[in-house]
Copies of this chain bind each other. A is one copy, B any other.
Amino acid sequence: MKKALITAGGALAAAGAVRALRRSREGFPQPRSGGRRVLILGGGFGGFYTALRLGERLKSYAGTSVLLVARDNFFTFQPLVPDVISGNTEVRHIAIPLRRHLHRAGVNFLRAEVEGIDLENRIVQTSRGPLEYELLVIALGGQPAYFGVEGAEEHSLRLWDIRDGLRMRNAVIGRFEEAAALRPDDYPPGLLTFAVVGGGYSGVEAAGQIHNLIHKGIRPDYPWVDYGQVRLVLAEGLPEILPEIDPALREVGRRRLTNLGIEVHTGDFVSEVSPEGLSFRSGEFIPARTVLWSAGGRGSEVLESMTAEKDKMNRIVVNERLQLPGHEGVWALGDAASAPGPDGNPVPPTAQGAVQESEVVAHNVYASLTEGEPREFEYRPLGQLIEIGGAFALSEVMGWKLSGTLGHALERAVHLQRLTDRQKRVRVLMDWALDYVFPPDTSDLGL
């Protein structure tokens, strides 16, 4: 009880410190309606950040209303989605209420599904009716790409939003519930094999998180399962995982995965996913009852019916000003866009890409309203932060390369600092502090 009180003291001290940070939410400007209308589609990194930045710029500028339309009323802090699998970060803590921040910036919000974009007539069709616009920002994001692999969409889980993270988490727990009710000799093939397809940032992090969930959370709670039958596989078709980072760091990452007992399976593409497992082009078959598909994305389905030019991944092709060629007053960014990047390659579809682009889109929309000078976009890769299995990360930031615990500290600090919302930042910090003390939760809430 005394210790509980010390804990209480700590919590209250923390709360007190934060209370000082609190400031009045009164007095932010009422969003303008009427006047010239800027419509922003999508509430991810691209749309949310464009709205915040444009709102700031327009505060002293009357006669324009900005409306952001998104399916969910929250912004998801994507870089921490894999952490949902082990539960070291609580789902709600990486979801940030859009309205809370948009109102302060004087931006309106409408929760609706975007169903079509008619560039000729300047109308967007939504689940709540048509919306006219004068200027349009398309930041509708993407969806998983299955590259025509048979069975991939039907028989695998994905890791696109926070609900997907929970589904994967529950699926893993469910397999151990099944195993716990059987004798080890009776386990069906692949019951305890968990395969992640895709060796990029998300796939590597997801594999590490599944490892954490199993060995820190599930193992103590399901002690009589045969852990000799647990297999974790990370499958990447290219010869190397993590192609975007420095080769030396990549090698450290691969060693880390191997040390955790994760089989890194490279240089062989998956050709089919079935309820029984993964088939590879080489003819190899790995029995696996649980497959997470994390092999990249393509532009959102909604874009398909649009008349604009798109690349082969269904991303809208934009010019250096992030504008749709031939469509004055229409911009696209983030995963929905293919923008010219360094060495003639498109800007990679990452959070940092979208955030950098939002700066230029906000500037150019404002310039268009005020007859100012538009800017050209130049992508500056800021580095990579990749956590692998708790208390270990690869960090490559502005030329610094760190791995292990130090890399992890940097990864956590940067993600926390970028979390946008003060409340959520404190809550995630608490989650991480407690994660250091307690094993992961194993409740399958069915959510």
Contacts and interface: CB of A to CB of B under 8 A. Distances in A.
A12 B12 CA distance: 13
A109 to B, nearest CB: 7
A221 B97 contact: yes
A4 B413 CA distance: 11
Contacts of A31: 224
Contact of A90 (B90, B103, B222, B442): B90
A229 interface: no
A17 B21 contact: no
Contact of A441 (B92, B433, B439): B92
A312 interface: no
Interface string A1-29: 00110111111111101111110010000
Nearest to A96: B443
Nearest to A20: B3
Given A103-B221, A447-B166, A92 B90 contact: yes
A434 interface: yes
A438 interface: yes
A282 B60 CA distance: 56
Nearest to A109: B180
Given A97-B442, A442-B100, A445-B163, A10 B8 contact: no
Contact of A74 (B128, B224, B443): B443
Contacts of A44: none
Nearest to A33: B224
A433 B14 contact: yes
Contact of A438 (B87, B128, B423, B441): B423
A17 B91 CA distance: 25
Interface in A70-114: 72-74, 87, 90-92, 95-97, 99-100, 103, 109-112
Given A103-B223, A445-B92, A7 B11 contact: no
Interface stretch (A231-239, A372-380, A424-432): A424-432
A72 B446 contact: yes
B441 A97 contact: yes
A309 interface: no
A228 B444 CA distance: 41
Contacts of A7: 14, 17-18, 426, 429
A72 B30 CA distance: 46
A62 interface: no
Interface string A374-403: 000000000000000000000000000000
A430 to B, nearest CB: 5
A73 B103 contact: no
A192 interface: no
B21 A3 contact: yes
A112 B19 CA distance: 46
Contacts of A6: 13-14, 17
A10 B3 contact: no
Contacts of A184: none
A30 to B, nearest CB: 7
Given A10-B13, A14-B14, A99 B447 contact: no
Contacts of A181: 110-112, 128
Contacts of A423: 434, 437-439, 441
A173 interface: yes
A291 B222 CA distance: 40
Contact of A445 (B14, B22, B95, B429): B95
A25 B112 CA distance: 48
Interface in A182-229: 220-224
A15 B99 contact: no
Nearest to A4: B425
Contacts of A442: 73, 97, 99-100
13 contacts: A3-B21, A6-B14, A7-B17, A8-B433, A13-B13, A25-B220, A73-B177, A87-B92, A95-B441, A97-B443, A109-B180, A163-B445, A423-B438
4 shortest A-B CB distances, which residue pairs? A10-B14, A74-B443, A11-B433, A447-B447
